[in-house]
Structures are given as structure tokens and as C-alpha cells.
Structure 1
Amino acid sequence: MDVVDAWERYARGRTPRRETNAFGACTWLNWTQHADHGPGESVLGDLGGRAVLELGSGTGCNLAHLSTQGAVCTGVDIAPSQRRKAVDRWGHLPGLAFHTADATDFLSHAEGTFDAVLSIFGPVWFTDPEQLLPLIRKRLSSGGVLAFSHKPPAEGMAPVGTLSAARAVTRWDYGPDEWSALLADAGYANPRAEVIPPPGGQGVGTLLVRGYA
């Protein structure tokens, strides 16, 4: 199965994000798989006037929120239908641009730099980090931040597995120490990795990783 087809099938099965969250907000950013839980945009620092890139932007909900905080946002997703959904829902907001592309291809050919790059359960989880991390590093402005999240690996799981929802896609299941070492090897400063506990201590937490240019 082709990778693009796999992600298109995954996208078709996704439920659209709610119109408002538990706090009544129309836009929000959530790093975890649990609704209305965990840190928000503060992970990325001050966003006013900053250039932000999301890899695996999906339907654009995260970037829509960041644009309301004053960021100039670019989203990249490999599934063509995701761009259409993002434009339909958020095209009225300023400072938003969405592209259909593979993350490595986009980073290899894009011009300019970004002050923040984020990936929430996105391409950083599904792309060889020895290839992707240096490409992101080259596109970060001085002091810029890469921040990404995914589920922590299950105990005893091999670092590389396959995504059950899209079997054509490989997943890199690394833990905090492995990601910190990979970031340091790729030239990132002050790598940080932590597991955000699930709400109420029930279920699976979320691994949140950061590194700086």
C-alpha cells in the first residue's frame, strides 16, 4: 500500500475536532491524545509575529489556534484531503498557509526559516530521525524550537514498529533518553523529553520532546 493512500484512509476515519473544547474555546492546541489535557501553546514560547511550521498539520486546528496568538503559520500534510479540510474550516483566518507534501520533501525544498516547528503524533514519529531531525534543524532560526509528541513506547517494544492504522507506515517508538540523544547528535541544544501523565492516572501518557537551535 502506498504511504499517501495509507494516510488518506487514516484521515477518512478521523472524527472532526469539536467546535469548542471543555473550556468553551473555539481554537486550542493539545499535545496529548487526551481531550483538554496537558500543556498548550506555552511549550512554544512567545508566538507574536513568529513563523511556525507544523509537520502533519491535518485539518489545521492546531495552527488555527496558533494564528490567533499572532503566529504566521505553515502547515504540511501528506494527505491531500487534509489540506482541503483545513482550508474549508480555517481559510478565513489570517497568517495561515497549508501545503500537501511529504515532510522531508518540503523541508528539503522550502525557503527561509521557522521560529518553531511542531509535530503532534505526526511525521517526527513516522520518519527516520537521522534523516528528518537534521532537515528540521537547518530550517530553525537561531533560538528556534522543535517540539513534538507521541505515545511513549510500550514496555519491551522495539524502537521501530508499524502503525496499525496504516500498515504502510513505519513508526519510530523511542523513549525520552533515546530522543534526547538523537536531538543532541543532530545539533540541537538543551534537549528535553518528558512523559505527561494521563488524566487521573488512567491509561497511557504522552511523550513530549523539545530541542533548540
Structure 2
Amino acid sequence: MDTRSAAWDTYSKSKPHRRTVNSVGETTWFNWTQYPDHGPGAGQLALVPGGRVLDLGCGSGGNLAHLSTLGMHAVGVDLSPVQLAKARERWSGVAGMELHRGEALDFLASAEPFAAIYSVFGAAYFTDPALMLPAVFAKLRPGAVFAMSQQPAVEGCYGCQASYIPRGPDEDPAVVKRWDYPVEEWPVLLREHGFRDCSARILPAPATGKRRLGTLMVRAVRED
């Protein structure tokens, strides 16, 4: 089995299903950050109902399910069969979802254009932006949004980094690569690949709770 696929299977098994309802009683919702009920919603994608939207690294499908309830044709791709099985089990009653197993870049190469593409701590975080950004740009409709969120970079630790995923007390952790850059560098990278209205910011952690690490939020638009 592909080592990255196995790593994300392990990660999936360590995570519970998304809650049945959120703090305001919604059964589906969009979440960009690592904190529940925090941060901006699906409005970041500027979607029009009926369009096709792609989640790169869709995991267990919670964000996709929400977009489906908004009338979108919500497409997700993920390396982990365990994650996709969780998505199919949890959201079996939600119409409009389409799930695929595979590499994000391979999927993009053969896909039709989308009304928006996004990644929440997903494949865009774990793929070299020199490869990901042109692949995303090529599959966005003119004027469509690309948005992603991930952990902010550790100062001085830029470029390709290693993430370690625990696999139990008797096994070495699985290792996957991720790409980190200073917040001010992301708009430069996006513009270099043809995007406009490029922005990057750190969403602060919630005011309550002990964790203070924010979330990097990146957004750009394909040229018309």
C-alpha cells in the first residue's frame, strides 16, 4: 500500500466522526480551521448553486456534504480509502456528492473545470505548490475561486517539511511531506501562477480555550 495512503488511513482511524449538530444546531456546516464552529464559512468560495466544486483531500466529507445541501455538485478526492468509507457511511443520505480515491494531481489532470476548488488541511498542504497551483489554475473556470487552509509555518521552517503521524506504541510514525511558507509569500506564489485578488492571512484561534495556534487562510481568483 502507498505509504501516504496508509498514513492517512491511520489518521482517519484516530479521528471520530463529525458531530451530529454544531453549536447552533446545524446538521451540516463548513469549517476552515482546526477549531469547531470557528472562522469563515462557505461564502469564501463565492459559489452559485448548481456549480461543480472540488475538495482536494476531502477526508470524511463534512465540508462536501454541506456544499451539497447548498445545491452544489460537490466532488471530493482523497488518498485514504478509510476516510472515503467514513464519508460514504456518514453522508449516505446527502445527494450531490461525488467521491474519488486517488492523487490530487492525477485527478486534476483528467477533470473537467470547476466553479471553485478548495483544500482544508488537505492535499494542497501536502503537495508542492509549484505543481499544485498550476494544476488548480488549469481546472478553474474564469473568475472562479481557489482557497485553502493549513497550519501556519513555523518561523524559519519553510519549504518542504515533514509531518509525523503516530501509528501506535510499537510502530514508527508514518511520515508525509508538507509545504510551508511565510504568510506574505503565498500571494506572491499565487500571482506567479496567474491568479489575481490573492490574499493570505492568519485566522486567530478562538478567544476561549488554551490552544493559541491560528490557521493560515489563502484565497485567490483565476483570471477572467
Is the structural similarity TM-score above 0.5? yes
RMSD of the TM alignment (CA)? Answer: 1.4
| Residues 146, 211 of structure 1: 8 Å contact kept | yes
Q: Over residues 85-111 of structure 1, what are the superposed CA-to-partner deviations in whole Å (9 max), with x where a residue is unaligned?
A: 11111122121100001101111122x
Corresponding residue pairs, total: 212
Normalising by structure 1, we get a TM-score of 0.95
| Residues 27, 65 of structure 1: 8 Å contact kept | yes
| Residues 48, 69 of structure 1: 8 Å contact kept | yes
CA drift at 1:7: 1.4
CA drift at 1:157: 2.1
| Residues 31, 41 of structure 2: 8 Å contact kept | yes
CA drift at 1:159: 2.8
Moved more, 163-172 or 131-140: 163-172
Q: Distance in 2 between matches of 1:136 and 1:90?
A: 26
**SS, match of residue 134 in structure 1:** helix
**For residues 28-47 of structure 1, what are the structure 2 equivalents within 5 Å?**
28-47=29-48
Q: Which residue of 2 aligns with 1:174?
A: 181
Q: Which residue of 1 aligns with 2:219?
A: 210
| Residues 47, 66 of structure 1: 8 Å contact kept | no
**For residues 150-169 of structure 1, what are the structure 2 equivalents within 5 Å?**
150-165=150-165, 167-169=174-176
**For residues 90-129 of structure 1, what are the structure 2 equivalents within 5 Å?**
90-110=91-111, 112-129=112-129
Q: Distance in 2 between matches of 1:83 and 1:158?
A: 31
Query: Aligned letter for 1:177?
Result: E
Q: Over residues 156-192 of structure 1, what are the superposed CA-to-partner deviations in whole Å (9 max), with x where a residue is unaligned?
A: 3233210122643111011222211111111111111
Higher helix share: 1
| Residues 63, 73 of structure 1: 8 Å contact kept | yes
Q: Distance in 2 between matches of 1:48 and 1:122?
A: 24
Q: Over residues 15-39 of structure 1, what are the superposed CA-to-partner deviations in whole Å (9 max), with x where a residue is unaligned?
A: 2111111111110011011111110
**For residues 18-29 of structure 1, what are the structure 2 equivalents within 5 Å?**
18-29=19-30
Q: What residue ranges of structure 1 are gaps of 5+ in the alignment?
A: none
Identity %: 41
Query: Aligned letter for 1:184?
Result: R
